[in-house]
Structure 1
Amino acid sequence: MSQFTHAFNTQYQNLVEQFATRPRAAAATTTTVALSLSLLWVITDFNAWKSFGTGGTPPTWAGYWRMTKIRFNRLLLFGKDNLTDPTPLSTSGPAYLDAGEIEPREGDRPKLMSRTMPQRQVPYAKGTVDAGVEERTLKLIPSLAAKYPDLLELRPSKTEGGSTDAIYAKESLATLNDKAKGGGMLGTEIAHAHPREGSLHVWLTQRDARTVVEKGYGERFPLVFIDKGWTMVYAPRTQKEVDVVELIIKAGIANIAGVEV
């Protein structure tokens, strides 16, 4: 009887040890898999961040973590702030766009990259952008600078860390917008395009920014300490949409340079 009891106790103890160690092993495996997937996501996200432009931040791990903190802080503090909602933008003040003459943008809004900064859209699928649109869009900035040399100058974008060209209003202009004086965050920068996917940023009046958002051609900028008129404009898909984008840039010129063109 004692031998039977001893054998039973031994087998019972073995079972207890198996059940005790399996959860620990399973937990360790789960943790390892989770860490591996997280690391893979971070590396993929870091490479995508660099490839689409870093918004003027050094393309290093330190720069990436800085932008990632902004991203998470925005999710925590402004998670419900829909940037396609125009209501935070004023309906009063100057306007250089005729909202009645701008038809709403057709189709859904483009998807944006899943990070706060830099503000970028996901490139359109191949075959969905008309021939010549991308080339014409990228030429808008330098061509307008060349057309109005008394008002504008072309130089590397301060807000993009010099990675693309921008049009600036000349600081000597008597008509220069007061907001552009004094070397603030935006300085006298009016607009720049993002060569990787064709979107733009343009400094508009709040009324014009509201029109752009309401008509579906863009959305608000995510950082609250930047002037509310600083607007993301979606990459155009048709020549007709390029026409609208050109009007938007000209509205930005009127806003900052103080002269309608």
Structure 2
Amino acid sequence: MNIGAMLHLPPDMWDGVLSTENLHILSATLTLLLPVLAFLYIHHDYKAFLSLGPGGTPATPLGYSKLKLLSLFTLRDPLRPLPIPPHFRPQNGYLTPSSLPTRPGSRPSVRGIAPQRQQTQRSSGDMYKSLVAATRKLISEPANCLVEQTSCFEKHSSGIFASTPITRTCGGEVCHAHPSDGSMHTTLHPADANIVIENGWGERHPLARGGWCRRFVPREFMLIYAPRDKEEVEVIMKIVSAAVWWVAGIDVEKEGGERKDNEARVQGFLTDCRVCRVHSCGSNGMEKMTGDA
């Protein structure tokens, strides 16, 4: 049965619909309409990209084009657990399933690659300042061997770096927070990343898939959701402690000689302290951690 019969059109009417003249008109209409629709989509999508604010990708048409190309290689499910390679020592991370409570409520809406930002459930200005104060308290303790520098990933905000990193990240970066929404990017042991995902506190970065994408972010790179109250700030600082342990080999919750955790030397990437203290991203144009949320 042809389409004309299915639509109950008389044969002569169906022949008129398929006339050469009508097909030419339809073809011309689509030729004119499709570029307009494509332009409107790109214009809207580009504005959405700009609305995410400053990040690791320049807010330019070239930067936008780069991200659209990278989007072909992103993770399809950012909540999928990370496999733990058999050569990792230890196989377990810093956290345990009972270390973190289950995050109440639904997950926030997240958009973007670089930058990647929350669209809902953002931190208030006061909560963001509480998060910054807590991270700077870690930095102020000399035994933690941490410094504050311009984020090597974001380039527009400051982050925490290990003075003597033992795990390969961008310049030894442990984490950085985003003043625009209160969320945070950090790198964790795969086991810890899975606990964070399972308990609802974060998700994997779209490019955190390993292999070729390691030139952009580590396979263990995570987005940690913005704190909504002081109790959640405390939970997030527990995650930050796990990130310090993973990148720096320091257990910030221990005292004295027990603080340096040799068990955290999982990838055998030991770096000279003199190199790590000089990061490639200087401090010019840095958006302060205490900036407006």
Both structures adopt the same fold (TM-score exceeding 0.5): yes
TM-score when scaled to structure 1?
Answer: 0.75
Question: Matches of 1:95 and 1:18 in 2, distance apart?
Answer: 67
Q: What residue in structure 2 maps to residue 240 of structure 1?
A: 231
Post-superposition Cα deviations, 1:94-146, rounded to whole Å, max 9, x if no partner, equal 42223213111112211221x44433322337xxx678323323444444323
| Structure 1 pair 22–143 and aligned structure 2 pair: CA distance change class (3 A) | farther
Task: Tell me which of 85, 88, 101 is aligned to 2:83.
Answer: 88
Q: Which has the larger radius of gyration?
A: 1
Q: Please tell me the residue identity of whatever aligns with 1:235.
A: A
Identical amino acids, percent of aligned pairs: 29
Question: Matches of 2:194 and 2:18 in 1, distance apart?
Answer: 65
Question: Matches of 2:189 and 2:50 in 1, distance apart?
Answer: 31
Counterparts of 1:8-157 in structure 2 under 5 Å? 19-53=19-53, 55-74=55-74, 81-89=76-84, 93-113=91-111, 115-124=112-121, 132-148=126-142, 151-157=145-151
Task: Tell me which of 219, 225, 230 is aligned to 1:228.
Answer: 219
Contact 2:138/2:144, CA 8 A, preserved across alignment: no
Contact 1:89/1:228, CA 8 A, preserved across alignment: no
Counterparts of 1:153-172 in structure 2 under 5 Å? 153-160=147-154, 162-170=155-163
Q: What residue in structure 2 maps to residue 203 of structure 1?
A: 187
Contact 1:198/1:236, CA 8 A, preserved across alignment: yes
Deviation at 1:41, TM superposition (A): 2.2
Contact 1:169/1:253, CA 8 A, preserved across alignment: yes
TM-score when scaled to structure 2?
Answer: 0.68
Question: Matches of 2:85 and 2:18 in 1, distance apart?
Answer: 67
Question: Matches of 1:47 and 1:139 in 2, distance apart?
Answer: 33
| Structure 1 pair 26–57 and aligned structure 2 pair: CA distance change class (3 A) | same
SS at match of 1:101: coil
| Structure 1 pair 73–250 and aligned structure 2 pair: CA distance change class (3 A) | closer
Question: Matches of 2:220 and 2:233 in 1, distance apart?
Answer: 20
Range that drifts further, 239-248 or 29-38? 29-38
Q: What residue in structure 2 maps to residue 3 of structure 1?
A: none
| Structure 1 pair 22–168 and aligned structure 2 pair: CA distance change class (3 A) | same
Give the 4+ runs in structure 1 shifted more than 6 A: 15-18
Deviation at 1:213, TM superposition (A): 0.8
Deviation at 1:82, TM superposition (A): 1.4
Contact 2:186/2:243, CA 8 A, preserved across alignment: yes
Deviation at 1:72, TM superposition (A): 2.4
Structure 2 unaligned residues grouped into runs of 5+ = 1-14, 253-293
Deviation at 1:157, TM superposition (A): 0.5
Contact 1:90/1:210, CA 8 A, preserved across alignment: no
| Structure 1 pair 150–240 and aligned structure 2 pair: CA distance change class (3 A) | closer
What value does the CA root-mean-square deviation take over the aligned residues?
3.0
Deviation at 1:258, TM superposition (A): 1.3
| Structure 1 pair 46–54 and aligned structure 2 pair: CA distance change class (3 A) | farther
Deviation at 1:250, TM superposition (A): 1.4
Contact 1:157/1:166, CA 8 A, preserved across alignment: yes
Post-superposition Cα deviations, 1:38-85, rounded to whole Å, max 9, x if no partner, equal 2122122223223324542222211111111010243xxx5xx41102
| Structure 1 pair 197–27 and aligned structure 2 pair: CA distance change class (3 A) | farther
